Amino acid sequence: MHVKIQHVSKTYASGGGYAVKALDNISLTIENSEFVCLLGPSGCGKSTLLKLIAGIESSSSGSVQVGGAHMSGPSPERGFVFQEHALFPWLNVRDNISFGLDMKRLDRKTKKNTVNDYLRLLGLEKAARLYPKQLSGGMSQRVAIARALCLNPRLLLLDEPFAALDAILRQKMQEEMVRIWRRENKSFILVTHDVEEAIYLADRIIIMTPGPGTIKDNIPVSLPRPRIRTEAGFIQLRGKILRLLQSDEPETGDLLPLACITNERLKPVLN
């Protein structure tokens, strides 16, 4: 699905009569069946940008067009996978996945078959009757992905989906992500702060910097798939991106958010 973002800014009202500028003049285009990663340190507005594309939040200025139409709230056309997976604790795995299908007028058999397909695709057949509380982090994330995918969205938005997983499981999920993306022919936009993850997954990496969130660079990744993390090209690109991310960090790197607060990021709203 084609996404076109033009001069988008987003300002939050925060406590104490201040406004926080989370995004400043973002312009970005995402092509059909492209895999794009939004990469940057925390506080760079990458999740906010993703939520704008989902329609969960609205921009303060500028325009967001998805599939040629202007944004008007969330839609099942745009699947969203939350960082904290946001599964419904009162529904078992099967019912969580079919939640979106229940909203459509489908006959029982079609619904059941679709759910079965996605249970299989994500290796969840044995977990179908379990409740979210009984699932591990990786399993929960798979359910969240299956729940978004089974509605056949043209665009899948993923907000740091693997951040809470251990390194081995994260790699496995990344491999599965590529497999699913190649099979499904949809656009994927994935937010991450993990450089390696971005290089492994993306056709294109959008590098964002905080205070306020802006796009710093737009790096196409032309390495052939499946990508190998120890290959020269991979390591070279990793070094390049790390340098890019580090170059704008002030000397007191850890104090970045504070530096933003004292600068232009916060402006009094009341006067």
Partner 1 sequence: MNRPTKLLSYALRMFSVAGFLLVWMWLVRANLIWPLQFGNLPDPIDVIATWLSYLKQGSYYKNILVSTARVLSGIALGFFTALPIGMWIGQRKLARDALFPSLELFRPIPLIAFLPVAMLLFPTIESSIIFITFLGAFFPILISTKDAAGRVPPSLVQSARCLGCGPARLIWRVYLPAMLPEVFTGLSVGVGASWMGVITGEMMSGQTGIGYTTWQAYHLLDYQQSIIGMFTIGMLGFASSALVRGLERTVIKWK
User: Toward partner 1, which CB reaches closer, 25 or 75?
Assistant: 75
- To partner 1, the closest distance from the beta carbon of 38 in angstroms equals 18
Select 47 or 214, whichever has its Cβ closest to partner 1.
Answer: 47
Q: How many whole angstroms separate alpha carbon 179 and alpha carbon 252? A: 41
Residue 239 CB, nearest approach to partner 1 (Å)? 36
Show Cβ contacts of residue 127 under 8 Å, excluding neighbours closer than 6 positions: 93, 135, 139, 143
Shortest distance in whole angstroms from residue 161 CB to partner 1: 13
CA–CA separation, 266 vs 264, rounded Å? 5
The contacts of residue 31 (CB under 8 Å, 6+ apart) are 2, 187
Give the residue with the Cβ less far from partner 1, 34 or 57: 57
CB nearer to partner 1: give 147 or 227: 147
Q: Which is nearer to partner 1, 41 or 76 (CB)?
A: 76
Closer of 128 and 259 to partner 1 (Cβ)? 128
C-alpha distances in Å from residue 93, one per residue of 136, 151, 180: 12, 15, 19
What is the distance between the alpha carbons of residues 33 and 20, in angstroms, rounded to a whole number? 33
Distance between CA atoms of residues 258 and 246, nearest Å? 17
Contact 207, 191 (CB under 8 A): no
Find the shortest distance in angstroms from Cβ 55 to partner 1.
Answer: 8
Q: How far is the CB of 133 from partner 1 (least distance, A)?
A: 6
In the numeric block, which tokens belong to residue 102? 């229940």
Interface with partner 1 (CB under 8 A): 54-56, 73-76, 78-80, 82, 84, 86, 88-92, 99-100, 102-104, 131-133, 147-148, 151
Structure tokens at 190: 């994935």
Tell me how far apart the alpha carbons of residues 193 and 198 are, in angstroms, rounded to a whole number.
8
Q: Which of 217, 171, 213 is nearest to 37 (CA)?
A: 217
Nearer to partner 1 (CB atom), residue 96 or residue 214: 96
Least distance from partner 1 to the Cβ atom of residue 242, Å: 31
Spatial distance between the Cα atoms of 231 and 89, rounded to a whole number of angstroms? 42
CB of 20 to partner 1, least distance (A): 18
